[in-house]
Amino acid sequence: MASTLFRLESNKFSTENIQATLVCSKCDEVFSKEFPVDLEGQTIEFKCPICGSPGETDLPYKSPEERENLDFDFDQVEDEQDNSEEFEESY
């Protein structure tokens, strides 16, 4: 089990990744790391890129509002694609 904890300072979700800004509890250095969005909500073990100490962090979940906004955005893109196909067929 990892003895060092990486504190999550901030995070940003994209469709494929979670970009996390973390602080190592051993060396107190701040670093950024990307994780696949499939790991959302899990505890992840890895080494600090600065001091090399093994540690772990809990990756966040998307809030329900963020999920709804993302679903809404995908729906809008699908509607736009459908409309462009109809337009192309008309001409």
- Integer Cα distance of 18 and 39 in angstroms: 9
CA dihedral (20, 23, 26, 29) positive or negative = positive
**Confidence band, pLDDT 50/70/90 cuts, at residue 14:** confident
The amino acid at residue 69 is: N
Domain ranges of the chain: 1-60, 61-91
The reported pLDDT for the residue numbered 61 is: 82
| Per-residue pLDDT tens over the stretch 32-73 | 999 998 899 999 999 999 999 999 999 988 766 766 666 666
pLDDT band at residue 4 using 50, 70 and 90 as cut-offs? confident
